[in-house]
């Protein structure tokens, strides 16, 4: 039989041991608590390092065709046949519609009859017993005019068949059998329009672009040839690369707000792109690689008043003036005032420190 007194001593000794261990853990945690409190206060630092930085500006835009043609007959007349429908793909030279040639043939015959009459008048003037020079001149002028009208009538007859001027897709077909054409020929929609509604609208859907509008200030940073990322609102997560093709030389002013139009072309047409889609474009206005950078959030002020807060080996903080280069949303180039490896205070709280060697800053230059 065990000794009850000895058993009580074992229990007491075990309890004392547990108290000693618990006290040790408490002391350890007490020593660690200041670091946790500093982290909660939002004081975080990062080392100045080399990395990449890029500056961008963004705008909203719309997918448009590079060129839209308003296609019509060159002569006025009544439409006798329509060969195509809206949405149809055509080749250059495909017949779109024809005019009733009865009136055109009558006009041609009458015009050539006038030529014959004018020739007879000229001959009579030239062979008169007493030749009148002024009468001969008038007869010659009348003949020239009659010949010009006859040729125009023949051209109208020849143009009674309307053909596609180029390959493309018909966006609109407004021609109807029994309807009429006012003439005017084919014009580019952006530079001219036919009277009223065009009979046909034709475009090349393999040659689409994005038209965007930039503010007066941002437009100064946009240049032809700059790299662009196009994000179609209908296809999220599928950005398409492109380039700035045109910066409009003249502005548009609305409600006292001045903007400039910019045309962006795709490097390769995305499968998801459609005419009229809305899009967001991001233009890279500047980029540098392998330069000394700091997180943009750590920079205070701008220009010759820019500074960061540095931390020395003892943990003391002090403001330090810096010279800045290219500035982005995430990272800013430092051209003077800091050395690689110096630690600076970050203004943000929570999350991991940025990694300038693997990330690119985006934003504006200052």
Express each pLDDT in 123-136 by its tens digit: 999 998 888 899 99
Average pLDDT per run of 10 along the chain, which is 366 residues long?
48 42 37 31 82 94 96 91 97 96 90 96 91 92 96 88 96 96 87 65 97 96 96 95 97 95 97 96 93 94 92 91 91 95 79 42 39
| SS3 state at 349 | coil
Q: Considering only CA atoms, which of 314, 322, 325, 317 is closest in space to residue 344?
A: 317
Q: What is the mean pLDDT of the chain?
A: 84
Between the alpha carbon of residue 75 and those of residues 69, 180, 194, 223, 312, the distances in Å are 17, 10, 12, 44, 85
| Domains with residue ranges and CATH for the chain | 51-63+207-361 (2.40.30.170), 70-203 (2.40.50.100)
Q: Across the chain, which distance is largest between two alpha carbons, in Å?
A: 170
0.75 exceeded by the pTM?
no
Structure confidence by residue, pLDDT tens digits, 216-263: 999 999 999 999 999 999 999 999 999 999 999 999 999 999 999 999
First to last CA, the chain: 89
- For residue 246, give the nearest of 269, 215, 276, 225 by alpha carbon: 225
Q: Are 301 and 286 in contact (CB under 8 A)?
A: no
Read off the tokens for 148: 């010009």
């Amino acid at each position: 039989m065990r000794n009850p007194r000895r058993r009580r001593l074992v229990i007491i000794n075990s309890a004392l041991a547990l108290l000693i261990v618990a006290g040790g853990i408490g002391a350890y945690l007490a020593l660690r608590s200041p670091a946790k409190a500093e982290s909660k206060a939002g004081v975080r630092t990062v080392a100045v390092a080399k990395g990449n930085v890029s500056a961008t500006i963004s705008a909203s835009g719309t997918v448009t065709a590079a060129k839209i043609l308003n296609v019509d007959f060159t002569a006025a007349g009544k439409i006798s046949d329509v060969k195509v429908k809206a949405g149809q793909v055509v080749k250059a030279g495909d017949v779109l519609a024809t005019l009733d040639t009865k009136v055109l043939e009558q006009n041609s015959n009458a015009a050539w009859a006038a030529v014959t009459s004018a020739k007879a008048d000229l001959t009579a003037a030239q062979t008169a017993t007493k030749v009148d020079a002024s009468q001969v001149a008038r007869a010659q002028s009348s003949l020239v005019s009659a010949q010009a009208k006859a040729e125009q009538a023949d051209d109208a007859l020849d143009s009674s068949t309307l053909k596609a001027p180029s390959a493309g897709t018909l966006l609109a077909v407004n021609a109807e059998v029994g309807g009429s054409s006012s003439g005017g020929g084919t014009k580019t929609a952006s530079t001219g329009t036919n009277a009223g509604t065009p009979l046909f609208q034709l475009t090349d859907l393999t040659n689409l672009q994005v038209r965007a509008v930039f503010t007066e200030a941002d437009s100064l940073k946009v240049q032809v040839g700059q790299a662009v990322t196009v994000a179609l609102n209908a296809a999220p997560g599928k950005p398409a690369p492109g380039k700035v093709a045109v910066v409009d030389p003249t502005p548009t002013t609305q409600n006292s707000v001045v903007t400039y139009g910019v045309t962006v072309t795709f490097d390769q047409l995305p499968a998801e792109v459609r005419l009229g889609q809305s899009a967001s474009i991001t233009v890279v206005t500047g980029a540098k690689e392998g330069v000394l950078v700091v997180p943009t959030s750590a920079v205070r002020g701008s220009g010759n008043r820019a500074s960061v807060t540095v931390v020395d080996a003892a943990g003391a903080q002090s403001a330090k003036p810096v010279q800045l280069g290219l500035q982005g949303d995430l990272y800013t180039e430092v051209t003077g005032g800091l050395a690689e490896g110096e630690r600076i205070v970050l203004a943000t709280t929570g999350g991991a420190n940025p990694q300038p060697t693997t990330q690119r800053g985006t934003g504006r230059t200052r």
